[in-house]
Amino acid sequence: MAWLTEILKAVLLTLVLFTYLAVVTAMFGVYLERKISGWIQARLGPKHVGPQGLLQTIADTVKLLQKEHITPRQADVLIFNAAPIMVAVAGLLDWVVIPFGRLGDRVLVVRDINIGVLYFSAMASLTVIGILAGGWASNNKYALLGGLRAASQMVSYEIPLALGILWVAMVAGTLSTVGIVEAQRGLWFIFSVPPFGVLAAVTFLTAATAEVNRVPFDLPEAESELVAGYFAEYTGMRFALFQLGEYAEAFAMAALAAIMFLGGWLEPNLPAWLWLTLGIAGVFVVVLLVVSGAARELILQPILILLALSTALCVIMFFGVQAGRSPVLPSPVWFFTKMFALVFFLIWMRWTYPRLRLDQLLNLSWKVLLPAGLLNLLITGFLITVAR
Amino acid sequence: MPKVIVDWLYVAVFAFVGTIMAALPLGIVWLLAPRADLPQKTLTYESGVIPFGQAWAQFNVRYYLFALIFVVFDVEVIYLYPWAVVFRQLGAFAFFEMVIFLSILLVGLAYAWRKGALEWA
Amino acid sequence: MGELAAFIILSCVTLIPAVVVVTSGNIVRSALSLVPTFLGVTGLYILLHAEFVAGIQILIYAGAITVLLLFVIMLTAGGTGTRIRQVNEQVPLGAMAAVWLGFLILLVIFRTPWQSAATAAPQYNIASVGTAFLTDYVLIFEVTSLVLLVSLIGAIIIARREE
Amino acid sequence: MHVGLTHYLAVSTMLFCIGLYGVLTRRNAVAILMGIELMLNASNINLVAFNRYVAPGAVGGQTFALVIITLAACEAAVGLALVMAAYRSLETIHVDEINVMKW
């Protein structure tokens, strides 16, 4: 009965991963988004529920659970209900191949599927159907228009996304996510074959941002034009499921970027003196900010916190490397650090760039990213072939 | 059991249990949330304006053109995956095969570009 | 035991939505029912150890062709198709033809003594598929790109006519 | 009971016939294309099954399945472009109403 134990294990892992997605990506993700957005706009963000507003999204979830489900009279009820579930499940399935770290000989991943990154892009492509179905089933002009816009945008950026993934698969020579991380032991892929690694990373991140419909590529949801686009008619928990799927996917993209370009769970392999220099520089800046009184400025406080955290990391790393420990910190710490750094980057982009127009958006995908991605593949392939 | 089967058994269980987990909050809402059917409430939302006609009308054909180009290039990408994994072992020959493959497709992209199929206007 | 159970479940996941695809009066529901069918076929590929084909099946069929079909439905009939008769007058004839053909093929299949070579499950991987494409089937590989080019150009010309 | 080649062939036959039924009875051109996709899927199951049971060492069947997936995508792209063209000049996508040879 080997398969029965496997199914039981799989069910348990599903529960764990779903809880992780609901708590870490959806709830904490929304909290982070609101808090960081607040900081960038020099306001406080959520503050009242729990310490620093940490429990705000939990309160929101409880509120959403008590909201009435409104189904528009003219909607196709079955598809209307199935669409958010499909989007959420597609977001969940992305995470099957994401490795969180490595403890001893065990890699912390649900399954290291042989065709890992291909699997990832296949699952990411399923979201489009859920969005299109939801937009259509609402029988609302804005929703359908938003659904069509979202679908045409997502399919346009699926190709550059795949090209970014392929670049990594080519350099690593494998499609397995664990294999890709292991292949970066010497050098992270963002630095390999310079400058083409950076180019591939930029292609991937741009396409990933568009794929999850985030600013500056948020036309489908443009709240000022389309009243939230394809989920205009969704209320309460169904709306929350769409959000869950979207945040799960956004975090999965950040996680995949960390795995493919930033070495995943691997520790940065820097000499002790560099850690020390970085740490001292960090301490210096923090002290300068506090002494000069600039730290009392609201907008500088989050920067101060981030700076203090990274300074602490540098100092810990310095002492760890001095003591000859390797790795100094458990690997999941690094994975999450990199993933959250990329999530922070996504939120930062949101408040830096204005929304693109539809024609600009499509031009960027088909006329810039696609040729650039293909050329990047060919040139890197050529270099690798020559180097042999 | 072979690794492939176990891998995808997990995927199947994830899809199945994930669906149940996602449907669960909808069930909780059914238990907790109030229900009051008012004709105004289930009206299609169009920013307060009384909706006219069906939403299920026609849209611009350009959406189709982009979907079309996407399908062709998505198919092209599936050939790149096996190539990316093995071209190192097969050497220069495999590389130039892919160059030919891609240049034929780039002709298609150039054609679409030239004919304005990539414009949104 | 487990294999048979998985096979039966996957066959149902494939065939039941397929029946919905061809019988539903609502064209959008038909198109959306294609998704479970394609995923069921993906599962059958997995049972046959063809992992790479399975991944491509999801990526192309479920992720691209279904989207294309949905686009065309929404750009032409839209949901208005829900209230229009979807079948022609050939239903009895078509059903007879399908059942008869199915019966014949099944008869042939069950009466043929197939030479099953495999006992142990083979281990396929993406590298062997890639090698096959780049060595034995290189002509097919290159011609495929021509087919893609021709269909891209043809479809653009047809879809853009009279603009 | 062991799952063998005949099981897969039987399932693929059924899928093929369901697709055939759809092609024969539908008025909507898009629905006819869906039927064709089902039939192509059935043939793909056959190819992969034969690969696994008759020639397990080679990958020819899988390669051909990939080629058929490619052709299915091309067929869908061109077929649906025809549907769009017909719709724009004749305002219908029902094949029993498209009965002029020239327009």
Task: Write down the pLDDT at residue C84.
Answer: 67
Q: Is residue A342 part of a domain?
A: no
Of residues A213 and C56, the one with the higher pLDDT is C56
Alpha-carbon gap: C74 to the closest alpha carbon of chain D (Å): 11
Mean local confidence (pLDDT), A25-49: 84
User: What is the per-residue pLDDT across A303-359, written as a single tens digit (0 to 9) for each?
Assistant: 788 888 889 988 888 888 888 877 788 889 999 999 999 999 888 888 888 888 878
Q: Is the pTM here over 0.90, yes or no?
A: yes
Q: What sign does the dihedral B40-B45-B46-B51 (CA atoms) show?
A: negative
Alpha-carbon gap: D43 to the closest alpha carbon of chain C (Å): 11
Ordered DSSP codes for B47-59:
TTSPP-S-S----
Task: Write down the pLDDT at residue A24.
Answer: 86
Instruction: State the total domains in chain B.
Output: 1
Instruction: Label residue A69 by pLDDT band (50, 70, 90).
Output: confident
CB of C29 closer than 8 Å to CB of A79:
yes
Task: Write down the pLDDT at residue B121.
Answer: 61
Q: Chains meeting A at 3+ CB pairs closer than 8 A? A: B, C
Ordered DSSP codes for B56-93:
-----THHHHHHHHHHHHHHHHHHHHHHHHHHHHH-HH
Alpha-carbon gap: B106 to the closest alpha carbon of chain C (Å): 9
Instruction: Label residue C117 by pLDDT band (50, 70, 90).
Output: low
Residue finishing a domain among A65, A94, A115: A65
Segment among A252-256, A262-266, A339-343, B30-34 with least mean pLDDT: B30-34
Task: Write down the pLDDT at residue A43.
Answer: 81
Check CB contact under 8 Å for A122 and C55.
Answer: yes
Residue finishing a domain among A45, A65, A85: A65
The DSSP call for residue A186 is S
Alpha-carbon gap: A200 to the closest alpha carbon of chain B (Å): 14
Task: Write down the pLDDT at residue A286.
Answer: 86
User: What is the per-residue pLDDT across A358-368, written as a single tens digit (0 to 9) for each?
Assistant: 788 888 888 89
**Which residue, among C20, C32, C82, would best test binding to A if mutated, counting the most A CBs under 10 Å from its CB?**
C32
**Which residue, among A68, A69, A125, would best test binding to B if mutated, counting the most B CBs under 10 Å from its CB?**
A68
Is the same domain home to A49 and A158? no
On whether any CB of chain D is under 8 Å from the CB of B72, the answer is yes
Q: Is residue B76 part of a domain?
A: yes
Rounded CA gap, A226 and A243, in Å?
17
Query: Containing domain of residue B64, as a range?
Result: 3-114
Alpha-carbon gap: B26 to the closest alpha carbon of chain D (Å): 32
- C-alpha pair distances (Å), B18 with each of B28, C62, D36: 16, 19, 32
Question: What is the pLDDT of chain A when averaged over all its residues?
Answer: 86
User: What is the per-residue pLDDT across B34-58, written as a single tens digit (0 to 9) for each?
Assistant: 777 777 766 666 665 666 555 555 5
Q: Residue A237 above 70 pLDDT?
A: yes
Return the residue matching tokens 């909706």: B51
Domain limits of chain C? 1-83, 125-163
Q: Residue C107 above 70 pLDDT?
A: yes
Task: Write down the pLDDT at residue C112.
Answer: 85
- Give the CATH number of the domain where residue B80 resides: 1.20.58.1610
The DSSP call for residue C79 is G
**Which residue, among D66, D68, D78, D89, would best test binding to B if mutated, counting the most B CBs under 10 Å from its CB?**
D66
Q: Is residue B121 part of a domain?
A: no
Task: Write down the pLDDT at residue A193.
Answer: 80
Rounded CA gap, A145 and C78, in Å?
12
Q: Which of 62-91 (A) contact C at CB < 8 A?
A: 76, 78-79
On whether any CB of chain B is under 8 Å from the CB of A293, the answer is no
Mean local confidence (pLDDT), A4-26: 89
User: Which of A356, A111, A88 has the alpha carbon at shortest distance from A241?
Assistant: A88
Chain A residues within an 8 Å CB radius of C63: 122, 125-126, 128-129, 158
Task: Write down the pLDDT at residue A222.
Answer: 63
Task: Write down the pLDDT at residue B53.
Answer: 57
Q: Is residue B33 part of a domain?
A: yes
Mean local confidence (pLDDT), A93-100: 92
Task: Check if CATH label 1.10.10.10 holds for domain C1-83.
Answer: no
Check CB contact under 8 Å for C32 and A129.
Answer: yes
Residue finishing a domain among A32, A48, A65: A65
Is the same domain home to A144 and A108? yes
Chain B residues within an 8 Å CB radius of C60: 71, 74-75, 78
Alpha-carbon gap: A115 to the closest alpha carbon of chain C (Å): 7
Crossing angle of the two packed helices B92-114 and C138-160, in degrees rounded to 10 = 10
Q: Residue A230 above 80 pLDDT?
A: no
Chain C residues within an 8 Å CB radius of A133: 28, 32, 70
Alpha-carbon gap: B84 to the closest alpha carbon of chain A (Å): 4
Question: What is the pLDDT of chain C when averaged over all its residues?
Answer: 86
CB pairs under 8 A between B and C: 142
Ordered DSSP codes for B4-40:
HHHHHHHHHHHHHHHHHHHHHHHHHHHHHS-----TT
Crossing angle of the two packed helices A196-211 and A141-172, in degrees rounded to 10 = 160
On whether any CB of chain A is under 8 Å from the CB of B69, the answer is yes
On whether any CB of chain B is under 8 Å from the CB of A63, the answer is no
Rounded CA gap, A92 and A209, in Å?
18
Q: Does chain D reach chain A with at least 3 CB pairs under 8 Å?
A: no
Task: Write down the pLDDT at residue B56.
Answer: 52
Alpha-carbon gap: C133 to the closest alpha carbon of chain B (Å): 8
Of residues D4 and C66, the one with the higher pLDDT is C66
Q: Residue C74 above 90 pLDDT?
A: no
- List CB contacts of C76: < 8 A, sequence separation 6 or more: B58, D30, D83, D84, D87, D93
On whether any CB of chain C is under 8 Å from the CB of A129, the answer is yes
Task: Write down the pLDDT at residue A95.
Answer: 92
Query: Containing domain of residue A59, as a range?
Result: 1-65
On whether any CB of chain C is under 8 Å from the CB of A7, the answer is no
Q: Is residue B30 part of a domain?
A: yes
The C-side interface with A (CB below 8 A) comprises 2, 26, 28-29, 32, 35, 51-52, 55-56, 58-59, 62-64, 66-67, 70-71, 74, 79, 125-126
User: What is the per-residue pLDDT across A265-286, written as a single tens digit (0 to 9) for each?
Assistant: 888 888 888 889 999 999 898 8
Segment among A350-364, B49-63, C29-43, C104-118 with least mean pLDDT: B49-63
For C4, which residue in chain D has the nearest alpha carbon?
D3
> Which of D73, D80, D81 lies closest to B75 in CB terms?
D73
Is the same domain home to A14 and A103? no
For C33, which residue in chain A has the nearest alpha carbon?
A79
Q: Residue C79 above 60 pLDDT?
A: no
Instruction: State the total domains in chain A.
Output: 2
**Which residue, among B19, B54, B72, B73, would best test binding to C if mutated, counting the most C CBs under 10 Å from its CB?**
B72
Check CB contact under 8 Å for A118 and C71.
Answer: no
Mean local confidence (pLDDT), D44-53: 91
Q: Is residue A307 part of a domain?
A: no
Instruction: Label residue D34 by pLDDT band (50, 70, 90).
Output: very high
The class that CATH gives domain D5-90 is mainly alpha
Task: Write down the pLDDT at residue A259.
Answer: 93
User: What is the per-residue pLDDT across A133-188, written as a single tens digit (0 to 9) for each?
Assistant: 888 888 777 788 778 888 888 888 999 999 999 999 999 988 999 999 999 988 88
Is the same domain home to A172 and A242? yes
Ordered DSSP codes for A3-67:
HHHHHHHHHHHHHHHHHHIIIIIIIIHHHHHHHHHHHHTTS--S-SSSGGGTTHHHHHHHHHHTS
Task: Write down the pLDDT at residue C118.
Answer: 55
Pick the most confident of A102-106, A168-172, C73-77. Answer: A168-172
Q: Residue C82 above 70 pLDDT?
A: no
Of residues A254 and D95, the one with the higher pLDDT is A254
Q: Residue B90 above 60 pLDDT?
A: yes
Give the distance from CA C16 to its chain's centroid: 14
